[in-house]
Amino acid sequence: MLANNQPANISSFQHEDRVFPPPKGFAAQAHIKSMAQYRKLYNESVNSPEKFWGKQAKEELVWFKPWKKVLEWKAPFAKWFVGAKLNVSYNCLDRHLNTITANKAALIWEGEPAGTGVLGEERTLTYKQLHREVCLFANVLKRNGLKKGDRAIIYLPMVPEAAIAMLACARIGVVHSVVFGGFSAQSVADRIHDCQAKLVITADGGFRRGAIVPLKQNVDDALGIQNASGEVLAKTIQKVIVLRRANNGIHIQEGRDVWWHREMDNVSADCPAEPMDSEAPLFILYTSGSTGKPKGILHTTGGYLLGAKMTSKYVFDLQAMDTYWCTADVGWVTGHSYVVYGPLANGATSLMYEGAPNFPEPDRFWRIVEKYGVTILYTAPTAIRAFMKWGTEWPRKHNLSSLRLLGTVGEPINPEAWIWYHEVIGGKRCPIVDTWWQTETGGIMITPLPGATPTKPGTATLPFFGVLPEVVDDQGKAVPRNSGGKLVIRKPWPSMLRGIWGDMQRYRDTYWSEVKGSYFTGDGCRQDKDGYFWIVGRIDDVLNVAGHRIGTAEVESALVSNHKVAEAAVVGRPDDLKGQALVAFVTVKGGVTADQKLRDELRNHVAKEIGPVAKPDDIRFAEALPKTRSGKIMRRLLKQIASGGEIKGDTTTLEDLSVLARLSSSEE
Ligand code: WT7
């Protein structure tokens, strides 16, 4: 089961012996200085979780009203800090205003296009300035009809206003759902429909690799899309707030669309933070699963913020002087927890960059590191592999000596990339934190602590405080060390998802039914002799393409929604750069010519239905798809064909064996 899904270049046992202790000098300054200290806290956290989390919550966050109970666990439903009240925006902003942090940079932003002089437009917002913008914009939201509990869609480029919009929603108890700018109009419409949002916050455009992403145009299209029964999907939308960014002459619909900057002129900067229940919804973030449309993962207030704050502090070892840069887009959970909420709750300086890593040239990231003196860099293995391919001459052009800590997230990192990152970017002096977590977990779950944990290239090492992971077999029994199995989490944790928006049955089925009583991650894993967790990758029908999570079922339904397609099956194959690539097996309807033109058409069709991130890398036409007698598509077989491997295992249940031969040779 595991071998089929193994992405490219995943480490094997031979790397386990390369151990990198925390660099000398690092531990002395770090929040957690030794394995003994980590173990002591970890044991406390899992042996007396309520005591541990109660203490942490008191120390880390500002509460308007204390809790009655730390945890109420009625599996699979958790309530953390029951009865307590707090506000996320208050904890990220107001609490710093009477401290020396008030005039410290909260956000340093660089736009993609050239500014004047040094490459890149620049903006810096101190905590005081950010607070003011957030208060103003929260009043704009109120003025446009939003109330506590309403949902708003945020569809913006990576600009400070994305963080401002999120924090403004949090300030008045509006639930935000950020949609990644690379998703299509259809995806925007589907999400609006699912969460019944009242308002969209967008921009005329954003910059990406020198081109303008037409966000407002996509919103206009989204608001017109109807489903099969003629219902307008986004009919709940009353207002669209438009940020001027690209100045690309967009259409403004009177009565519905308003300009961000005009609205800001009409409101006061006084907006007290609303006391929110600890379990009040904070955001919904859509992510792909193994079946159907993306699921709206629901996160709430107190537990989420505590998780985001503590993991930021301990995993990145945040210190007052740091310039911290997480390269993720706010459209993903990494951007929520580690660009906005986690760093700001800690009073850190968080850097945001709008554009592509290779625009105008492949050294853009290293220019930014040098220019701002970045000390902590958190990025994805797929980016690191691209940098390796582009060549060491690009980072070598720049002074990267400010860096003191490196992180990775999103997919397993192959040891070759880990070593390159360590040597070429980190100059062998920076610890690497390989952090495993998911949209659903809200924050980092398995990770080294940089001053304590000896690392090995390719493993996320050990659990964070309060996290109890285990590798189990199909019966849910723990497997011995060094055997593969399913990764589950045995105990609830504060930043865990609270459900799937509008579909609690799906929440139970997806996460809590595979292994009774435990949270099923969807990942395969192995623990080595030291107890380190080696994540193998997804074992469900979810692919990880360049760190983006893509459901095969979603791409399949996008393909069959094209009138020329009869059937489609989508599988992953290993890819050196992206980890996995998408391969679609397609049968066409009678009279349709399966040629290169149709391939291009179908790829564009998927981009339109979901977004460019979901475009299949290969489309292979077949006369029929291999099926079992009961009519199930044999994915295992397709994966082997897609990877160019030999067909192994039992194929006797194949309905029509000759289909196999045709599939294998269908490439023109
Ligand atoms: C899936 C979750 C949460 C951040 C971004 C991705 C894979 C994530 C690692 C890692 C191996 C990893 C898993 C997981 N993954 N980090 N350090 N090592 N695999 O969030 O889109 O919800 O995807 O990403 O397969 O299940 P996501």
- Residue with CA closest to ligand 1 atom 6: 410
Residue 128's nearest CA partner among 167, 98, 171, 163 is 98
Residue 492 beta carbon below 6 angstroms from any ligand 1 atom:
no
Measure 412 CA to ligand 1 centroid, in angstroms.
Answer: 8
Find out whether 378 and 325 touch, Cβ atoms under 8 Å: yes
Measure 334 CA to ligand 1 centroid, in angstroms.
Answer: 10
Ligand 1 atom showing the smallest separation from residue 548 Cα? 21
Average of per-residue pLDDT across 228-255: 96
Ligand 1 atom showing the smallest separation from residue 446 Cα? 17
Q: Ligand 1 pocket test: which of 411, 445, 520 has the largest number of ligand atoms within 8 Å of its C-beta? A: 411
Look at residue 327 and tell me whether its pLDDT is greater than 50. Answer: yes
Q: Which amino acid is at 55?
A: K
Q: Give the distance from CA 214 to its chain's centroid.
A: 22
> What whole-number percentage of the chain has pLDDT above 70?
93
Find out whether 198 and 151 touch, Cβ atoms under 8 Å: yes
pTM: 0.93
Measure 76 CA to ligand 1 centroid, in angstroms.
Answer: 22
Measure 608 CA to ligand 1 centroid, in angstroms.
Answer: 25
- Residue with CA closest to ligand 1 atom 24: 410
Helices (H), 61-126: 88-92
Measure 437 CA to ligand 1 centroid, in angstroms.
Answer: 5
Measure 574 CA to ligand 1 centroid, in angstroms.
Answer: 16
- The SS3 assignment for 405 reads strand
Describe the chain by its helix, strand, coil percentages, rounded to 5.
30, 25, 45
Whole-number Å distance between alpha carbons of 313 and 327: 17
> Can you give the pLDDT at residue 650?
54
Measure 218 CA to ligand 1 centroid, in angstroms.
Answer: 28
Ligand 1 atom showing the smallest separation from residue 542 Cα? 25
Beta bridge partners of residue 241, listed in sequence order = 201, 258
Measure 566 CA to ligand 1 centroid, in angstroms.
Answer: 33
Label residue 505 exposed, middle or buried (CB < 10 Å: 0-12, 13-18, 19+): exposed
Residue 658 binned pLDDT confidence (cut-offs 50, 70, 90): low
- Residue with CA closest to ligand 1 atom 20: 438
C-alpha distances in Å from residue 137, one per residue of 76, 142, 205, 467: 36, 9, 19, 37
Q: Which amino acid is at 32?
A: I
Whole-number Å distance between alpha carbons of 406 and 376: 6
Retrieve residue 321's tokens.
Answer: 């002087």
C-alpha distances in Å from residue 127, one per residue of 107, 166, 380: 8, 15, 28
Residue 407 beta carbon below 6 angstroms from any ligand 1 atom:
no
List domains and CATH numbers for the chain.
122-296 (3.40.50.980), 542-665 (3.30.300.30)
Look at residue 532 and tell me whether its pLDDT is greater than 50. Answer: yes
Measure 621 CA to ligand 1 centroid, in angstroms.
Answer: 31
Which of 40-49, 75-84, 206-215 is least confident? 206-215
Residue 101 beta carbon below 6 angstroms from any ligand 1 atom:
no
> Can you give the pLDDT at residue 24?
83
Ligand 1 atom showing the smallest separation from residue 538 Cα? 25
Retrieve residue 453's tokens.
Answer: 């944990």
The separation between the first and the last C-alpha atoms of the chain, rounded to the nearest angstrom, is 30
Helices (H), 404-535: 415-420, 504-512
Measure 35 CA to ligand 1 centroid, in angstroms.
Answer: 25
Q: Give pairs for 416-421: CB < 8 Å, separation 24+.
A: 416/9, 416/388, 417/9, 417/381, 417/384, 417/385, 417/388, 418/457, 418/458, 419/457, 420/384, 420/387, 420/388, 421/384
Helices (H), 468-569: 504-512, 552-560
Retrieve residue 584's tokens.
Answer: 């679609």
Q: Which amino acid is at 477?
A: K
Whole-number Å distance between alpha carbons of 9 and 453: 24
- Residue with CA closest to ligand 1 atom 23: 438
- Residue with CA closest to ligand 1 atom 12: 411
Which stretches does DSSP call E strand in 288-425?
295-300, 323-326, 349-353, 376-379, 405-409
Average of per-residue pLDDT across 650-658: 52
> Can you give the pLDDT at residue 8?
38
Find out whether 411 and 382 touch, Cβ atoms under 8 Å: yes
How many other CB atoms are there within 10 angstroms of residue 286's CB atom? 24
Tens of pLDDT, residues 262-301: 999 999 999 999 999 999 999 999 999 888 889 999 999 9
Look at residue 511 and tell me whether its pLDDT is greater than 80. Answer: yes
Measure 407 CA to ligand 1 centroid, in angstroms.
Answer: 13
Residue 179's nearest CA partner among 149, 218, 207, 135 is 218
Tens of pLDDT, residues 26-44: 999 999 999 999 999 999 9
- Residue with CA closest to ligand 1 atom 8: 410
Residue 486 beta carbon below 6 angstroms from any ligand 1 atom:
no
Q: Which amino acid is at 71?
A: L
Look at residue 117 and tell me whether its pLDDT is greater than 90. Answer: no
Ligand 1 atom showing the smallest separation from residue 408 Cα? 17
- Residue with CA closest to ligand 1 atom 5: 410
User: In sequence order, what are the residues at sequence separation of 6 or more whose Cβ sits closer than 8 angstroms to the Cβ of residue 374?
Assistant: 323, 324, 325, 351, 368, 402, 403
Measure 627 CA to ligand 1 centroid, in angstroms.
Answer: 31
Which of 123-127, 390-394, 656-660 is least confident? 656-660
Residue 290 beta carbon below 6 angstroms from any ligand 1 atom:
no
Residue 235 binned pLDDT confidence (cut-offs 50, 70, 90): very high
Find out whether 646 and 640 touch, Cβ atoms under 8 Å: yes
Find out whether 30 and 450 touch, Cβ atoms under 8 Å: yes
Residue 540 beta carbon below 6 angstroms from any ligand 1 atom:
no
User: In sequence order, what are the residues at sequence separation of 6 or more whose Cβ sits closer than 8 angstroms to the Cβ of residue 185?
Assistant: 218, 219, 221, 222, 225, 608
> Can you give the pLDDT at residue 667?
44
- Residue with CA closest to ligand 1 atom 14: 438
Whole-number Å distance between alpha carbons of 583 and 563: 20
Residue 279 beta carbon below 6 angstroms from any ligand 1 atom:
no
Retrieve residue 230's tokens.
Answer: 């003629």
Look at residue 644 and tell me whether its pLDDT is greater than 90. Answer: no
Helices (H), 397-525: 415-420, 504-512
- Average pLDDT, whole number, for the chain? 93
Average of per-residue pLDDT across 648-665: 55
Tens of pLDDT, residues 426-471: 999 999 999 999 999 999 999 999 999 999 999 999 999 999 999 9
Residue 544 beta carbon below 6 angstroms from any ligand 1 atom:
yes
Tens of pLDDT, residues 164-217: 999 999 999 999 999 999 999 999 999 999 999 999 999 999 999 889 999 999
Measure 342 CA to ligand 1 centroid, in angstroms.
Answer: 18
> Can you give the pLDDT at residue 150?
98
Beta bridge partners of residue 520, listed in sequence order = 488
Residue 315 beta carbon below 6 angstroms from any ligand 1 atom:
no
Residue 409 beta carbon below 6 angstroms from any ligand 1 atom:
yes
Residue 460 beta carbon below 6 angstroms from any ligand 1 atom:
yes
DSSP state of 527: E
Look at residue 322 and tell me whether its pLDDT is greater than 70. Answer: yes
> Can you give the pLDDT at residue 430?
98
- The SS3 assignment for 370 reads helix
DSSP state of 457: T
- Residue with CA closest to ligand 1 atom 2: 438
Helices (H), 14-126: 26-29, 35-47, 49-60, 88-92
Q: Give the distance from CA 245 to its chain's centroid.
A: 24
* 151-155 vs 199-203, strand pairing mode: parallel
Find out whether 524 and 539 touch, Cβ atoms under 8 Å: yes
How many other CB atoms are there within 10 angstroms of residue 371's CB atom? 16
Residue 619 beta carbon below 6 angstroms from any ligand 1 atom:
no
Find out whether 309 and 346 touch, Cβ atoms under 8 Å: yes
Measure 320 CA to ligand 1 centroid, in angstroms.
Answer: 29
Residue 435 beta carbon below 6 angstroms from any ligand 1 atom:
yes
Whole-number Å distance between alpha carbons of 411 and 425: 19
> Can you give the pLDDT at residue 6?
43
Q: Which amino acid is at 21?
A: P
Whole-number Å distance between alpha carbons of 622 and 638: 11
Q: Give pairs for 466-471: CB < 8 Å, separation 24+.
A: 466/45, 466/46, 466/49, 466/52, 466/53, 466/491, 466/493, 466/494, 467/491, 467/493, 468/46, 469/445, 469/525, 469/533, 470/518, 471/525, 471/526, 471/527, 471/533
> Can you give the pLDDT at residue 628?
83
